Amino acid sequence: SATGLEKRGVNPGPVGYRWEPSADACAAVAAFWDALCELQTVPETKISTTLLSLPGIGPGKARQHHDRFAAVVELMSRNLCLFRGDTVFGLVHFHPAYQRNFIHPLHKPAFGHLPPQSWLRSMLRHNGQADVADTLTEEDLDMSNYQRRSPHTMINVLRASQLNAAVGAKSIVDLSLDNGTTEQASGIPLYSRNAIRLAQQNDRAQLQTALEAEMIQSLGVDSVSE
């Protein structure tokens, strides 16, 4: 994990894979805190980052499954921020049907999630790519959600040092939005690059086919439920 950040003082190390199959939110939150405590007590050379799999939380692709995922990970994120843990760890949330437009708040940052999709054009302009911002369709921008789609609900728990190295500790800037307001945003070059890369995918159906194949493999079934 943390590969490619050696020049910024972060050495790659082993990934800790943790698994909690329960559909119970309390069990999932307990597993989440176990993962945090483990990272806090184990040196980075032994566990660089942790990938916590929660296949019982919001399994499937229907809106109700996504809403369940969103509610449980919001509980975890609020728990972490309540104890100021967001200064020590960063979270990256994944779901098979990840859709930023279904995450609350819709037009404000949500800890562990992609920036609001309504910000993407402004982020591209801020990054010096106004021509791209004006030509991408909403369907193109929607492809950005594939950054966070996975076979089942997962949370990548990152050390703050890794996040700072990846996006820059001072990467927070004032972003002028299309509605005339100004918001603070971070990671603009990274999210802009990913938005363009995914929008340029020639065979978009192939992304979904590959995702569903991984879902089937992880579940050990013949088809993926809606």
pLDDT at 79 over 90: yes
Least Cα distance to 152 among 39, 27, 19, 26 occurs for 19
Band the pLDDT of 56: cuts 50, 70, 90: very high
User: Which one, of 90, 108, 115, lies nearest residue 188 by Cα?
Assistant: 115
Measured CA to CA, the distance from residue 15 to residue 46 in angstroms comes to 8
Distance CA 41, CA 16 (A): 13
> Nearest-CA neighbor of 72 among 93, 49, 100?
93
Q: How confident is the model at residue 202 (pLDDT cuts 50, 70, 90)?
A: confident
Phi and psi at residue 93, to the nearest 5°: -95, 140
Consecutive H or E run containing 6 = none
Compute the average pLDDT of residues 194-207.
92
